[in-house]
Amino acid sequence: MSASERIALVGLGAIGSEVVRLLTDRLPTARIVAVAVSDATRPRSVPDGSALIDDPAALAAMGATLVVEAAGRASVEPWGMAALQAGADFAVSSTSAFVDDALLARMQGTAQANGAQILVPPGALGGIDALAAAATMGLDHVTHVVTKPAGAWAGTEAETLCDLHGLTEVITFFRGTAREAADRFPKNANVAVISSLAGLGLDRTQLALVADPGATANTHRIEAAGAFGRMTMDIENAPLPGNPKSSAMTALNIVRLIENRVRTLVI
């Protein structure tokens, strides 16, 4: 990011608020020019100098150079298209939107036409750099296991697949492709799209979704093998206080992305 980078945040929930908090502490020069929510008439506190908006048509006038989405699957197309059409880069958290191949192709076409980029931060994951690098030599298999406390699956289809609220032991309630996992669990399995885009794609990446009544963390295990060798990535994420479905790492990876656009030394 040059000194003139202007950031718009789409979503001021658990992740968006944490991004604002961390940026305020770590990068006070970051200019958050706009915050987008679903209903801007509800009062809320936004960073100094930020406009509060709820209509994607208002985005172009903000002059954002980077738009960061942490709002929900339905927000990706309207806000992403508005960002890309305005020539801003668009960083996506609700990557479950990309189970729709046609949407992803449309957004990539719009990015290309406007000299902008769609950015996919690692979200709640680590090791995505290694997986993406390994894919260059060809991968044989990638499996990804998402384990969350039972309560983190509340309000999802998991409630109909197992006795979620009476669980006494760990249960794997879903096995299938990454595409199906992200499509059916868009509030909990955006990560399936991230490990897929880095590795073997949405239809060849195998997902397991697990509820653990004793867990306090959101954990991810990715195992991959190919010509490069083998890798196993394990991460135990603290959930965000504002939303136990979402890991703090998601906000941290957004902050890293933003900081790397400023730094002279990029890690």
Instruction: Name the binder of 15 from ligand NDP, ligand OAA, none, CB < 5-8 A by kind.
Output: ligand NDP
Fill in the amino acid letter for 184. R
State how far the Cα of 19 lies from the Cα of 46, in Å rounded to an integer.
Answer: 12
Residue closer to ligand OAA (CB basis): 30 or 248: 248
State how far the Cα of 139 lies from the Cα of 18, in Å rounded to an integer.
Answer: 35
Mark whether 144 is an active-site residue: no
Residue closer to ligand NDP (CB basis): 73 or 184: 73
Catalytic residue (one of 141, 144, 165, 220): 220
φ and ψ at 98, to 5 degrees? -85, 10
Fill in the amino acid letter for 224. A
φ and ψ at 161, to 5 degrees? -100, -15
Instruction: Name the binder of 205 from ligand NDP, ligand OAA, none, CB < 5-8 A by kind.
Output: none
CB of 201 to ligand NDP, least distance (A): 17
CB of 234 to ligand NDP, least distance (A): 16
State how far the Cα of 30 lies from the Cα of 101, in Å rounded to an integer.
Answer: 33
Question: Among 33, 146, 191, 222, which residue sits at the site for ligand NDP (rule: CB under 6 A)?
Answer: 191
The torsion defined by the Cα of 206, 240, 163 and 93, in degrees rounded to 10, comes to -40
Question: Among 123, 127, 199, 226, which residue sits at the site for ligand NDP (rule: CB under 6 A)?
Answer: 123
Is there binding between residue 241 and ligand NDP (CB under 6 A)? Answer: no
**Residue 122's closest CA among 253, 246, 215?**
253
Residue pair 173/162 in contact by the 8 Å Cβ criterion: yes
Question: Among 34, 116, 124, 167, which residue sits at the site for ligand NDP (rule: CB under 6 A)?
Answer: 124
CB of 90 to ligand NDP, least distance (A): 13
DSSP 164: G
CB of 126 to ligand OAA, least distance (A): 11
DSSP H/E element including 229: strand 229-237
User: Given the rule CB under 6 A, which residues bind ligand NDP?
Assistant: 10-16, 36-39, 70-75, 93-95, 123-124, 187, 190-191, 242-243, 246-247, 250
Which residues are identified as catalytic?
A: 220
